[in-house]
Amino acid sequence: MTLEIIARPGKRAYPPRVTAFTQTFWQGLLDGRFMITKCPKCGHMSFPPKRICAECWAPNTDWLAHSGRGILYSQSVVNAAAFYFAAELPFRLGIIDLHDGPRIATRLIGMDEPPPLGCEVELVTLAYEDGPLYAARLPAK
């Protein structure tokens, strides 16, 4: 599955630091793929991506393109944030259990009303002028 890539005007409010290791994740987002890491020894999946397994400490995890689909576990509206994000207030955040994957936190978009917990959500790439971010929304179908 491929994440929809949604063009966003302007630059990211607080651009993430990209390293030689995380470059695979950020390039994946630009290509519409949500890359996580999976341990070749115990199978534990991690997000944010980790070079060393957080479960069994095996080195050299593998990259895996996740479907980007999951279930909304929790959500909240943020009304106060660090000044970098003040222009974006209020915004909605969610905690998502990726199908057969890790639990992640991300921005929820396109939801004026609180979404029902347990609903299906999908990740999308937000393509800003200076690079990508990701967010989740109700599936476009």
> Given the complex with Zn ion, which of 53 and 135 has the nearer CB atom?
53
Based on the shown chain and the rule CB under 5 A, indicate whether residue 18 belongs to the binding site for Zn ion.
Answer: no
- Is 51 a binding residue for Zn ion by CB under 5 A? The answer is no
Read off the DSSP letter of residue 130: T
Sheet with strand 45-46: strands edge to edge: 45-46, 34-38, 62-66
Neighbours of 35 (CB within 10 A): 18
Nearer Cβ to Zn ion, position 42 or 77?
42
Contact between 44 and Zn ion per CB under 5 A: yes
Contact 114, 17 (CB under 8 A): no
Which of 18, 56, 78, 86: binder of Zn ion (CB under 5 A)?
56
Residues found near Zn ion in the complex (CB under 5 A): 39, 41-42, 44, 53, 55-56, 58
